[in-house]
Amino acid sequence: MQVAIDGPAGSGKSSVCKIIAEKYSLTYIDTGAMYRSIAWISIHFGEDNLVEKAGNTEFILEDNGRKISVKYDNNVYDLTKEIRMPEISAKVAFAASNRDIRKILVKKQQAFAEGSDVIMEGRDITTVVLPNADIKIYLTASPEERAKRRFKEWESMEQNEEYAKVLEEIKKRDEMDMSRKESPLLQSEDAVLLDTTGLSLEQVADKIGEMIIS
Ligand code: C5P
């Protein structure tokens, strides 16, 4: 069983995927975390030759998608927390807009999914990474609702960003994700549209659960 979910920043993909993964024994793969890790690599090891650096990065996903580490230059770095920081969000578009980096990461994502029962989320999963997935969903919510969710998430990490700034960041990221030349975020024709504005996490999980068991 392969479940593919795409959607804009803050649409609730990762929270709902974790619930579904547990309930239906699927391996959860957060592809945004992989792009974020490359952004981290660019900050710590430099932006030059980033394609080569991405190729030399090994991703270690543990605890069913709750923990991500990278093996780079013979060292292992646990990036679970660091990749959620605002400076990474600001930097990630640089890696995500590079065609060759995308090719490398798409291959690694497909290898993770090969022969496994997975739930994978990102921006190009239904369109590029797993176009033949059994279930394809486009998850979204209004920018204001998504900003509210991100604001709370950052608040819990003691990152003091203003709501207005978070909203601005969400809109900026939408614009970048949707207008990107390489694999832009779009709702593929055969993906089910799920607008989560005003829905609780449990309600969204129930809707996806119904698709899985039907
Ligand atoms: O999902 P998340 O917000 O963690 O993703 C961070 C960024 O990584 C996105 O804004 C997008 O630019 C990029 N991304 C991507 N393709 C994916 C997943 C994420 O371009 N499949």
Residue nearest to atom 2 of ligand 1 (CA): 32
Q: What pLDDT does residue 71 have?
A: 98
Crossing angle of helices 163-179 and 143-156, in 10° steps, is 120
Nearest atom, ligand 1, residue 89 CA: 6
**What ipTM does the predicted assembly reach?**
0.98
Q: What pLDDT does residue 151 have?
A: 86
Whether 177 lines ligand 1, by a CB cut-off of 6 Å, is yes
Which of the residues in the chain have pLDDT under 50? none
Render pLDDT for 30-73 as a digit per residue (tens, 0 to 9). Answer: 999 999 999 999 999 999 999 999 999 999 999 998 999 999 99
Q: What pLDDT does residue 33 have?
A: 97
CATH value of 2-213 in 3.40.50.300, 3.40.190.10, 3.40.1160.10, 3.40.718.10: 3.40.50.300
| Non-local CB neighbours of 139 within 8 Å, separated by 6+ positions | 5, 6, 7, 11, 12, 13, 16, 121, 194, 196, 204
Q: To test the ligand 1 pocket, which listed residue (41, 101, 108, 123) has its Cβ within 8 A of the most ligand atoms? A: 123
- Per-domain boundaries in the chain: 2-213
Instruction: Decide the pairing of beta strands 118-122 and 2-6.
Output: parallel
Q: To test the ligand 1 pocket, which listed residue (38, 59, 92) has its Cβ within 8 A of the most ligand atoms? A: 92
